[in-house]
Structure 1
Amino acid sequence: MLYSKNGLVPDIEEVISVSRKHKYCPYFRSRSMYENADLILLPYNYIVDPSLRYKHNIQLKGNIVIFDEAHNLESVCEESTSVSFSTTQISACIRETKKVLELMINDEEEVRTQMDNTVVPIGTEIQETNEVKIEKNDVAYLLASLHQFEDAVDVCAKSGGKKVTGIDGKVYPGEHMIELLSKAGFRKDMREAVSQTIDKIGQYLTAKAQNETIGEFVEKGVYLQEFSSFISTIYAYKHASSQVLDSPACVVRKLHKKITDDSIVKYFQLYITKHSSVITLNYWCFSPSVAMWYLHSCGVRSVIVTSGTLSPLDSFINNLGISFPIALENQHAANVDQILCARIRSSQSGIDLCGTFHKRSSSAYVFGIGEVIVRACQIIPDGILVFFSSYVTMNTCLKFWK
Structure 2
Amino acid sequence: MEPEEFEFPFPPYPIQIDFMKNLWKCLNEGKLGIFESPTGTGKSLSIICGALKWLVDYEENNKSNLQIQMKQLNDELKKITDESKGDWFVEQTGQMKIKQKQQIIKDQLDALERRELRKNKFKEKIQMENELKKHKRIFKSSIKKDNKTDNKLDEDDSLEKNDIDQDLLLEDLNINSDDDKDEEEEELETARYTQFFFCSRTHSQLTQFIGELKNSPYADKVSSVPLSSRQNYCINKTVKKLKHVNLINERCLQLQKKKTTSKKEKDLKKAKITTSCPFNPGNQSLLIADIVTKIQDIEEIGSNAKELETCAYYASRRSLPDSQVILLPYNTILHANTRKSSGINLKNNVIIIDEAHNLLEAIERMHSSQITGRNILHCYNQLTQYQKRFENLFSAKSVLSLSQLSYCLKKLIKILGGTSRSQLTDEIKDEIPSKVFNIEDFEAVAEIDTINIFHLIDFINQSKLIHKLQGFVEKYSDDLKVQNIPKKAEGISAFLNSLQGKDEQLNTEIIIEQKKEEEISNNPLILIISFLESLKSCSSDGRIFVIPGKTVGQGVIKFLLMNPAAHFHDIVKEAKSVILAGGTMEPISEFRDQLFIGAGAESERIMTFSCDHVVPKENILTRILCKGPTGVSLEFNYQNRQNPKLLDELGRILQNLCNIIPGGMVVFLPSYGYEEHLSKHLEKSGVLAKIKIKKKIYREPKTASGVNAVLEGFARDVKSPKIPQTGALLFSVVGGKLSEGLNFSDDLGRCVIVVGMPYPNIKSPELQEKIKYLNENLKPGAGNEYYENSCMKAVNQCIGRAVRHINDYSTVILLDKRYSGKMKSLPGWIQRTLEVHNEFKSTIGEVAKFFSAKKKLVKQ
TM-score range, shorter chain: 0.5 to 0.7
Which residue of the partner structure matches residue 311 of structure 1?
586
Q: CA deviation at 1:272?
A: 1.5
SS in 2 for 1:102: helix
Q: Deviations over 1:317-357 (max 9, x none)?
A: 1122233613131442589986414868377xxxx974665
1:137 matched to 2:400? The reply is yes
Secondary structure (helix, strand or coil) at the match of 1:18 reads: helix
In structure 2, C-alpha distance between the alignment counterparts of 1:367 and 1:336, rounded to whole Å: 26
1:198 aligns with 2:621: no
Report if the CA contact (8 A) 2:371-2:556 is conserved.
yes
Q: Distance in 2 between matches of 1:13 and 1:183?
A: 49
1:152 corresponds, among 408, 411, 415, to: 415
Displacement after TM superposition at 1:152 (Å)? 2.8
Q: Per-residue CA shift, 1:127-182, capped at 9, x if unaligned?
A: xxxxx895322222322232223213328x96775xxxxxxxx352x41x543334
Code of the residue aligned with 2:612 in structure 1: it is H
Equivalent residue number for residue 111 of structure 1: none
1:100 corresponding residue in structure 2: 386
Listed as ranges, the gaps of 5+ residues in structure 1 are: 109-131, 162-169, 238-260, 374-381, 388-402
1:274 maps to which residue? 549
Match of 1:248 in 2: none
8 Å contact from structure 2 (residues 454, 536) kept in 1: no
2:305 counterpart residue number: 19
Q: Is the 8 A contact 1:47 1:53 kept in 2?
A: yes
Distance 1:187 1:367, change over 3 A: closer
Say which one has the larger Rg: 2
Question: How do residues 4-15 of structure 1 correspond to structure 2 at under 5 angstroms?
Answer: 4=290, 7-15=293-301
Q: Report if the CA contact (8 A) 2:353-2:580 is conserved.
A: yes
Task: State whether residues 470 and 523 of structure 2, in contact with CA within 8 Å, keep that contact through their aligned partners in structure 1.
Answer: no
TM-score under structure 2 length normalisation? 0.31
Provide the C-alpha distance between the structure 2 equivalents of 1:61 and 1:232, rounded to a whole number of angstroms: 23
Alignment partner of 1:181 out of 443, 464, 467: 443
Corresponding residue of 1:258: none
Shift in Å at residue 273 of structure 1?
4.6
Please report how far the alpha carbon of residue 214 of structure 1 lies from its aligned counterpart in structure 2 after TM superposition: 3.6
Q: 1:189 to 1:365 in 2, by over 3 A?
A: farther
Change (3 A) 1:270 1:50: farther
Q: Distance in 1 between matches of 2:469 and 2:398?
A: 16
> Contact between 2:369 and 2:531, CA under 8 Å: does it hold in 1?
yes
Query: What percentage of residue pairs aligned between the two structures are identical?
Result: 19
Residue-by-residue CA offset, 1:166-201 (whole Å, 9 max, x unaligned): xxxx352x41x5433345564498232111221244
Say which SS state the counterpart of residue 385 (structure 1) adopts. coil
Structure-2 residue corresponding to 1:283:
559
**2:531 is matched with which residue?**
230
- Equivalent position SS for 1:327: strand
Residue 79 of structure 1: how far off its partner (Å): 1.0
Equivalent AA in structure 2 for residue 345 of structure 1: I
Determine if contact 1:77/1:291 at 8 Å carries over to the other structure: yes
**Superposition pairs for residues 347-366 of structure 1, below 5 Å?**
354=695, 359-360=717-718, 361-362=720-721
* Deviation, structure 1 residue 215: 4.1
Q: Distance in 2 between matches of 1:271 and 1:204?
A: 25
Greater shift in the superposed pair: 57-66 or 91-100: 57-66
SS in 2 for 1:84: strand
Equivalent pairs counted in the alignment come to 312
Amino acid at match of 1:311: E
Correspondence list, 1:2-401, <5 A: 2=287, 4=290, 7-34=293-320, 37-49=323-335, 52-53=338-339, 56=341, 59-62=344-347, 63-107=349-393, 134-154=397-417, 161=433, 170-172=434-436, 174-175=437-438, 177-184=439-446, 186-187=448-449, 190-202=452-464, 206=468, 213-215=475-477, 222-237=523-538, 261=539, 263-265=540-542, 268=543, 270=545, 272-278=547-553, 279-293=555-569, 295-296=571-572, 299-320=574-595, 321-322=598-599, 323=601, 325-332=605-612, 339-341=620-622, 345=660, 354=695, 359-360=717-718, 361-362=720-721, 384-385=807-808
Task: Report the counterpart of residue 78 of structure 2 in structure 1.
Answer: none
Amino acid at match of 1:194: L
SS at match of 1:236: coil
Provide closer, same or farther for how the CA distance between residues 137 and 34 of structure 1 changes in structure 2, counting only shifts above 3 A.
Answer: same
Q: Given residue 457 of structure 2, which amino acid in structure 1 is its aligned partner?
A: S
Determine helix, strand or coil for the equivalent of 2:558: strand
1:87/1:355 CA distance change after superposition, 3 Å: closer
CA distance in 1, matches of 2:717, 2:462: 62
Structure 2 residue ranges without an equivalent (≥5): 1-285, 419-427, 482-518, 624-656, 663-692, 698-712, 728-745, 748-804, 811-860
Q: 1:65 to 1:204 in 2, by over 3 A?
A: closer
SS in 2 for 1:147: helix
Q: CA 1:280/1:383 → structure 2, altered by over 3 Å: closer, same or farther?
A: closer
CA shift, 1:77, in A, is 1.6
Contact 2:545/2:557 (8 A) holds in 1: yes
**Closer/same/farther in 2, CA of residues 355 and 196 from structure 1, 3 Å limit:** same
Distance 2:330 2:292 in 1: 30
Structure 1 residue 76, shift from structure 2 partner: 0.6
Q: Give the match's secondary structure for 1:328.
A: strand
State how far apart, in whole Å, the 2-side matches of 1:6 and 1:45 are.
23
1:17 Cα offset (Å): 2.8
CA contact (8 A) 1:70 1:305 kept: yes
Query: Which residue type is aligned with residue 332 of structure 1?
Result: D
- What is the one-letter code of the residue matched to 2:454? E
CA change 1:6–1:71 in 2 (3 A) is: closer
Classify 1:230/1:354 alpha carbon distance in 2 versus 1 (closer, same or farther; 3 Å). same
For residues 49 and 301 of structure 1, what CA distance do their matches in structure 2 show?
Answer: 19
Counterpart of 1:270 in 2: which secondary structure? strand
Give the partner amino acid of 2:532: I
Task: Give the Cα separation in 2 of the matches to 1:273 and 1:303.
Answer: 42
| Letter matched to residue 287 of structure 2 | L
Normalised by the size of structure 1, how large is the TM-score? 0.60
Shift of residue 103, structure 1, vs aligned partner: 3.2
- Bigger RCO (CA 8 Å, 6+ sep): 1
> Within 2, Cα distance between the matches of 1:106 and 1:182?
32
Quick one: distance in 2 between partners of 1:38 and 1:188? 47
Mapped partners of 1:135, 1:146: distance in 2: 17
Amino acid at match of 1:153: L
Q: Report the 3-state secondary structure (helix = DSSP H, G, I; strand = E; otherwise coil) of the residue aligned with 1:226.
A: helix
Greater Cα shift, 70-79 or 268-277: 268-277
